[in-house]
Chain A
Amino acid sequence: MNDARTTTDRRLTPDRSEAAFKHWLRRLVTGAAELKAFDAGEIDAVMDRDSGSAVLLPEAQSALNGTNRIVLSALDALPGEVCVIDSNGVVVMANKAWRVSGTAHARAGLDVRAGENIYAACRDVPESEREYAADMTEGLRQVLTRMRQSLTCRYVCHAPRPRRTCTFTIAAIAGDGPANAVITREWSDKPAIEPGGLPPKRSRNVEVERAGASNKLLSALPPREYSRFAGGLEQVTLTYGQVLYEPGEPMHEVYFPNDCLVSLLTLVEGHRALEVGLVGREGMIGARLALGAATSSVRALVQGTGTAMRMTSDRFLKEFRRSPALQRALFQFTDTLMIQISQTAACNRFHMVEARLARWLLMTAERMASPEFHLTHEFLADMLGVRREGVTVAASALQHRKLIHYRRGDITILDTPGLEAASCSCYRYVQAQAQAATS
Chain B
Amino acid sequence: MADKRKKKSAGKDAVTVVVMRLYVAGRAPNSIKAIANLEAICRQHLKDGYKLEIVDVCEHPRRALDDGVLVTPSLAKLSPTPGANIIGNLGDTSSVLAALGLPTTGP
**A271 to B: closest C-beta gap in Å:** 14
Interface residue from A29, A64, A175, A237 paired with B28 (Cβ < 8 Å)? A64
A281 vs chain B, min Cβ distance (A): 13
**Given the contacts A54-B61, A239-B5, A378-B10, A67 and B70 also touching, CB distance less than 8 Å:** no
**B22-62: contact bitstring with A at CB < 8 Å (1 yes, 0 no)?**
00111111110000000000000000000101000111111
CA distance A388 to B14 in the complex (A): 13
Report if B64 contacts A (CB, 8 A).
yes
B58: A residues at CB distance < 8 A: 45, 54, 56, 64, 175, 177
Asked if A22 is an interface residue, CB under 8 A from chain B, the answer is: no
Report A-chain residues with C-beta under 8 Å of the C-beta of B86.
33
Chain B residues within an 8 Å CB radius of A42: 30, 73, 87-89, 91
Interface size class of A (residues with CB under 8 A): 35 or more
List the B residue with the shortest CB-CB distance to A25. Answer: B71
Q: What's the minimum C-beta distance from A409 to chain B, rounded to whole angstroms?
A: 6
Given B31, B53, B63, which contacts A44 in the complex, CB threshold below 8 Å? B31
- List the A side residues contacting B8 at CB < 8 Å: 376, 408-409
Given A60-B25, A374-B6, also A176-B12 (CB < 8 A): no
- Is A370 an interface residue when CB atoms closer than 8 A count as contact? yes
* A49 neighbours in B (Cβ, 8 Å): 65
Q: Which of B7, B61, B71 contacts A29 (CB 8 A)?
A: B71
Residue of A nearest to B31 (CB): A44
Residue numbers in A under 8 Å from B70 (CB-CB):
29-31, 34, 46-47
CB contact under 8 A between A52 and B3, given known A34-B87, A45-B72: no
Chain B: minimal CB distance from A337 (Å)? 23
* Bound CA span A63–B25, Å: 11
B residues 54-97 touching A (CB-CB < 8 Å): 57-65, 69-73, 85-89, 91
- How far apart sit A378 and B12, CA to CA, in the bound complex (Å)? 8
A33 to B76: give the CA distance in the assembly, Å.
13
Once A and B bind, how many residue pairs between them come within 8 Å at the CB atom?
145
Q: Is the CB of B28 within 8 A of A56?
A: yes
Judge if A21 is at the interface, Cβ distance under 8 Å. Answer: no
Which chain A residue has the least Cβ–Cβ distance from B17? Answer: A378
**Chain B CB within 10 A, most for which of A45, A47, A176, A370:** A45
A388–B10 Cα gap in the complex (Å)?
11
- Shortest CB-to-CB span from A206 to chain B, Å, is 27
Shortest CB-to-CB span from B98 to chain A, Å, is 13
Evaluate contact between B85 and A239: CB separation under 8 angstroms: no
- Check B30–A60 contact: CB distance below 8 A: yes
CA of A282 to CA of B15, assembled, Å: 36
Residues on B with C-beta less than 8 A from A30 are: 70
Please indicate the chain B residues that have their CB under 8 angstroms from the CB of A174 in the complex. Answer: 2-3, 59
Would you call B9 an interface residue if the criterion is a C-beta within 8 Å of the partner chain's C-beta atoms? yes
Question: When the two chains form their complex, are residues A373 and B1 in contact, meaning their CB atoms are under 8 A apart?
Answer: yes
Chain B residues contacting A37 (CB-CB under 8 Å) are 71, 87-88
A97 on interface, CB distance cutoff 8 Å = no
Partner of A47, one of B12, B31, B57: B57
- CB B7 to nearest CB in A, in angstroms, measures 6
Asked, given contacts A42-B91, A259-B2, whether A54 binds B72 with beta carbons under 8 Å apart, the answer is: yes
Closest B residue to A38 using CB positions: B71
Contact flags A167-192 to B (C-beta < 8 A → 1, else 0): 00000001111000000000000000
Q: Report B-chain residues with C-beta under 8 Å of the C-beta of A54.
A: 25, 57-58, 61, 64, 72
Extra A-B contacts (15), CB below 8 Å, given A60-B29, A177-B61, A239-B5? A33-B86, A34-B70, A36-B87, A37-B71, A44-B73, A45-B57, A47-B57, A54-B72, A174-B59, A176-B59, A176-B60, A176-B61, A237-B63, A304-B1, A374-B6
Q: List 23 A-B contacts (CB under 8 A).
A: A33-B85, A33-B86, A40-B88, A42-B73, A43-B30, A43-B87, A43-B88, A44-B25, A47-B65, A47-B71, A56-B58, A64-B27, A64-B58, A174-B3, A175-B58, A175-B60, A177-B58, A177-B62, A259-B2, A370-B2, A376-B10, A378-B12, A408-B9
